[in-house]
Structure formats: structure tokens, C-alpha cells
Amino acid sequence: MRTTSSSQQPGGEDLLKSFSVTDIGKKRKLNQDYVYSSDTPVGNLPNVFIVADGMGGHAGGGFASRFTVETMMEEISADEHTKDPKKILRHAIESANEKLRARAAEDKKLFGMGTTIVAATFQEDQLLVANVGDSRLYIIGKKKIRQITKDHSLVEEMVRAGGIDEETARHRPDKNIITRAVGAMEDVEVDFFQVKLKPGDIILMCSDGLTNMLEDEEIRMIVDGQRDIIEKTEKLVEAANNEGGKDNIAVILVEPFAGAEDYDD
């Protein structure tokens, strides 16, 4: 899946640009990642960007990621009375969790399926992020990269508890075991993050098929070294595949202030 779009931010002077890609990688037979990008309003949200990384059986993972994103978009589009973006995203994810579990109960081939979700929306310079699982959102500036989300994974919990360091965690064989997923439990716990953006910031959303193959600084250098948002996205996928491409790869890049002058980060 390869899509590109750009639009004028409502009430703003800066052009918003985005580009998204999913890639099957080098080892998988199925692509269970799914992305959604809308630079224009959906319901009461000014824009929506989502990465989902599905899991569960031969058919379950791909179904879970697509079904969850499509259900979220239906809920966001239909939510006419809620203005708060956080409430809109929370309700959409909770509804998707409930409906995904109902589908799994109806079809034994889909039993145990689930998906990560990282979703973002922003207006002017305010970015809101919702996260379940270990798909990530970063903000990339000229000289640094910041991971905004926190992984809901077994090894990341060990890192936060001080049991292991980041380098050890990166090479553990159980690093892909996640502790939260849409569809896994009756109630889904969603983390939210709100960040103020600056001109020159680039938003990266991705599945672990990218971050398990590339270090954060490698990602930053690839993004910084390409001419435009399309080239940046495709070079990230290419680099992950060159490092082994052990999983599906999903990438969304967003330039919220593409027409603005960069700041010196």
C-alpha cells in the first residue's frame, strides 16, 4: 500500500504533507500491518493518522488491523456531538476493541487476534497521540529524534523497572511480546500524549518492523538525508529491508508545517 496526500490546514498558512507505506518485508508471507492517513477532517477531528500492527494466526492479524482501523474511522465519522479529540479517539478505540472481540467470538479462526494502534491528530501546533501496544510515534527534528509513545511490551516494562538496559532489551528474543493490544482484553487501556510541535518537526509513525531493524539515530539520519517526504518514507522501508526485513513494515511521515521555515533544533 502506497499513498500520498497534501492539504491546507484549516485556518492556517502552512501546507500539511503526508506519505504512508506498508511493505510485507523479506520474511513474512502475509502483510498484517495497516495504515490510514487523512490530511483533511474526519468527523470532528481535523486530520487522522493511524498505524496498526496485527497479530494472531494465519488470517487473524491482517483482519484485526484492518477491521480495527476501519471501525475507528466509522466511529470517528459518526461521533458528531463530541468535540474533545481525546474523547473521540478513546471512544473509537474502545468501540473497535469491543467489536473486534465480538468478531473473534463468532469465528474460531480469528480467536486470539489483536492489533497494536498508534493514532494521531493535530491542530495548529498541538499534537495528540493515542497508543496501545508497541507501534511508535516519533518527532524528528534537524538534530534529534524523540520517541513520544512508550512501548507496551514485556522488555520495555523490564527496562522501566531497571531490570535491563535499552541495548540488552533490543536484542532479547522476547522483545516482541506485547502487554497491551486492541482485542486482547475486555477493557482496553489507552495511553495519551500531547506535544507542542515546532516548524521543522516531522512526525514518524511506524510498526516495529521498522524499529526492530533500525536504531533511532539511523532513522533520523535517513529522514534528514532525503529530499522530500516520499523519498524519506521509501528510504526508511528500503533500509529496514536491507537490514533483514524480518517483519512487515508500516511507516507514516507527516510534515505539519511543510511551508514554514525550519527552526534550528
- Reduce the secondary structure of 185-251 to three states and give it as a string: CCCCCCEEEEEECCCCCEEEEECHHHHCCCCHHHHHHHHHCCCCHHHHHHHHHHHHHHCCCCCCEEE
Q: What is the pLDDT of residue 2?
A: 43
CB 71 within 8 A of CB 55: no
8 A C-beta contact, residue 181 and residue 114 = yes
**Residue 11 backbone zone (phi > 0: left; psi -120 to 50: alpha; other: beta):** left
Pick from 11-15, 179-183, 239-243: least confident: 11-15
Place of cell 483482519: 63
Query: What is the Cα–Cα distance from 235 to 225, expressed in whole angstroms?
Result: 10
Is pLDDT above 90 for 142? Answer: no
Q: What is the mean pLDDT of residues 190-206?
A: 97
The arrangement of strands across the sheet holding 249-255 comes to: 2-8, 15-23, 249-255, 202-206, 136-140, 145-147
pTM of the model: 0.91
**CA of 181: how far to CAs of 185, 258, 259, in Å?**
8, 33, 37
CB of 24 closer than 8 Å to CB of 30: yes
Q: For 38-58, what is the mean pLDDT? A: 93
To which CATH superfamily is domain 2-144+180-255 assigned? PPM-type phosphatase domain (3.60.40.10)
Question: Could you tell me what percent of the chain has a pLDDT over 70?
Answer: 84
For residue 263, what pLDDT is reported? 52
Which residue spans within the chain are E strands per DSSP? 2-8, 15-23, 33-38, 48-55, 114-115, 117-123, 126-132, 136-140, 145-147, 191-196, 202-206, 249-255
CB atoms within 10 A of CB 173: 7
- Answer with the residue of higher pLDDT: 162 or 230: 230
- Whether residue 20 is predicted with pLDDT greater than 70 in this model: the reply is yes
Between residues 168 and 189, the one the model is more confident about? 189
| Residue 121: predicted pLDDT | 98
Give the pLDDT confidence score for residue 154 in this predicted structure: 73
- What pLDDT was estimated at residue 174? 65
Query: What does the alpha-carbon distance between residue 232 and residue 227 come to, in Å, rounded to a whole number?
Result: 7
Dihedral class, residue 204 (left if φ above 0, else alpha if ψ from -120 to 50, else beta): beta
